[in-house]
C-alpha cells in the first residue's frame, strides 16, 4: 500500500528511479512521473488504465526552467506566465525534441504550467526534470482531492503519496496558446478570460473542452499520418498489396515479414511487451509516414492493459 507523507526527498528519489508519485496541486492530486522519460510516461498511462493516449500537462517550478524543454517562449505568453504563475494557467508552447511524443500525443506543442502548491513547487525545484501529472485516479473514476482518495484508488499501484492536505477544489486550468500572433483560449478554466485580456488585450476563444479536464490533447487533433493508414490482418493486407503491386509499409506488434525492406517495416515490440510498444508508437508512425511508401498497413495490439490505449490511437489514425 502506498505510503502517505510529506517527505520531499523520498518523492524525489522515487521519481529519479522512474517510479510514480502522487502530488498535490491547487485543483486535484496528480499522478506524476518524469516527463522527459518515455518509460515513466508510459507507466502513467498504464497505472491509470487509460484507454487512450491524451497529451499530458508538464509541471515545472518556474518560467526560467520552461525554456529547458521548449523551443521558444513568445512574449505574449511569457507576459501571461509572469502575471499568473504559479496558478491555474496552462500554456501551449513549441516543444524541444527532448519531450517524448507520448507526452504530446505527437503534437508539436507541449502543455506547460507552474502549479500553485508549496510542497509540489519545492519538489519540482529539487528535480532536474519536469513532471507529467494527469489526475491521480484510474480511468473513469472521480478525480482525487485528498491523499486518502488517491490511496483508495491507486494505493496498490504507486509507492508514495505526497501529502499536501485537501486541494482547493476549483476549476481546471485555463489553456492558452498562440496562433498567428493572436492569443487563443482553448479551454476555459480557473483563470478568467477577463483577467487574461487585462494583460494581452482581446483573445479568441476556441473552447473545445471535454468531459476529461486533464486532457489538453482533446482540444486539437492528435497526430495523424498523412498517408492512408489501414488496420486489419497484416498477412492478408500484405498479400493483397503485393498482388496489387502497391508501395506499402508495415507497422506490426512484434512480427517482421519476409520480402519487405527493413526500412519499410517496424515492429513496435519484438518481445511482445506492450509497455515497449507504447513507448515506440508515435515515433514509428512518424517514421513510416515520412518514408517512401504510399500506404501504411497496421494491426491492432492485444486488447489488454496498454494495448487498449495503443489500439485507440491506431483506430484514430485509420479514420479518414
**50 assigned binding-site residue:** yes
Which pLDDT score is estimated for 214?
A: 36
Contacts of 175 (CB under 8 A, 6+ apart): 90, 91, 92, 111, 185, 186, 187, 189, 216, 219
Which pLDDT score is estimated for 41?
A: 95
**223 assigned binding-site residue:** yes
Task: Assess contact for 66 and 113: CB atoms under 8 A.
Answer: no
**246 assigned binding-site residue:** no
**59 assigned binding-site residue:** yes
Per-residue pLDDT reduced to its tens digit, 185-238: 888 777 888 899 999 999 998 865 443 333 454 434 445 688 999 999 999 999
**294 assigned binding-site residue:** no
Which pLDDT score is estimated for 320?
A: 65
**143 assigned binding-site residue:** yes
**226 assigned binding-site residue:** no
**117 assigned binding-site residue:** no
**113 assigned binding-site residue:** yes
Report, in this order, helix, strand and coil percent for the chain, each rounded to 5.
35, 20, 45
Per-residue pLDDT reduced to its tens digit, 110-153: 999 999 999 999 999 999 999 999 989 887 776 788 899 899 99
Residue-range domains of the chain with CATH: 3-219 (3.90.870.10), 229-318 (3.40.50.11030)
**275 assigned binding-site residue:** no
Which pLDDT score is estimated for 212?
A: 36
Give the predicted TM-score (pTM) of the model: 0.83
H-only helix segments in 132-173:
147-154
Q: How confident is the model at residue 315 (pLDDT cuts 50, 70, 90)?
A: confident
Q: How confident is the model at residue 169 (pLDDT cuts 50, 70, 90)?
A: low
Identify the bridge partners of residue 205 per DSSP, sorted by sequence position: 185
Mean pLDDT to the nearest integer, 168-174: 68
Using DSSP bridges, classify how beta strands 57-59 and 131-132 pair: parallel, antiparallel or unpaired: antiparallel
Amino acid at each position: 500500500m502506498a505510503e502517505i507523507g510529506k517527505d520531499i526527498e523520498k518523492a524525489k528519489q522515487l521519481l529519479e528511479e522512474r517510479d510514480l508519485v502522487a502530488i498535490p496541486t491547487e485543483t486535484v492530486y496528480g499522478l506524476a512521473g518524469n516527463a522527459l522519460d518515455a518509460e515513466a510516461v508510459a507507466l502513467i498511462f498504464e497505472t491509470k488504465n487509460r484507454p487512450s493516449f491524451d497529451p499530458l500537462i508538464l509541471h515545472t517550478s518556474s518560467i526560467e526552467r520552461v525554456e529547458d524543454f521548449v523551443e521558444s517562449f513568445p512574449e505574449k505568453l511569457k507576459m501571461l506566465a509572469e502575471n499568473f504563475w504559479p496558478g491555474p494557467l496552462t500554456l501551449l508552447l513549441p516543444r524541444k525534441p527532448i519531450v517524448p511524443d507520448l507526452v504530446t500525443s505527437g503534437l508539436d506543442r507541449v502543455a506547460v504550467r507552474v502549479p500553485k502548491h508549496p510542497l509540489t513547487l519545492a519538489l519540482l525545484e529539487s528535480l532536474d526534470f519536469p513532471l507529467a501529472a494527469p489526475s491521480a485516479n484510474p480511468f473513469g473514476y472521480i478525480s482525487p482531492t485528498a491523499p486518502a482518495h488517491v490511496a483508495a484508488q491507486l494505493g496498490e499501484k504507486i509507492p508514495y503519496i505526497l501529502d499536501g492536505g485537501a486541494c482547493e477544489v476549483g476549476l481546471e486550468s485555463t489553456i492558452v496558446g498562440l496562433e498567428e500572433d493572436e492569443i487563443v483560449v482553448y479551454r476555459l478554466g480557473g483563470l478568467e478570460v477577463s483577467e487574461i485580456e487585462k494583460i494581452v488585450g482581446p483573445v479568441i476563444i476556441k473552447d473545445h473542452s471535454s468531459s476529461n479536464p486533464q486532457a489538453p490533447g482533446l482540444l486539437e487533433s492528435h497526430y495523424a499520418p498523412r498517408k492512408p493508414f489501414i488496420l486489419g490482418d497484416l498477412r492478408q493486407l500484405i498479400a493483397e498489396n503485393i498482388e496489387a503491386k502497391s508501395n506499402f509499409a508495415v507497422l506490426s506488434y512484434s512480427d517482421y515479414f519476409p520480402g519487405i525492406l527493413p526500412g519499410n517495416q517496424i515492429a513496435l515490440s519484438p518481445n511482445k511487451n506492450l509497455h515497449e510498444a507504447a513507448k515506440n508508437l508515435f515515433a514509428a508512425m512518424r517514421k513510416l509516414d515520412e518514408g517512401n511508401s504510399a500506404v501504411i498497413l497496421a494491426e491492432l495490439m492485444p486488447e489488454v492493459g496498454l494495448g487498449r490505449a495503443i489500439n485507440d490511437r491506431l483506430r484514430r489514425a485509420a479514420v479518414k
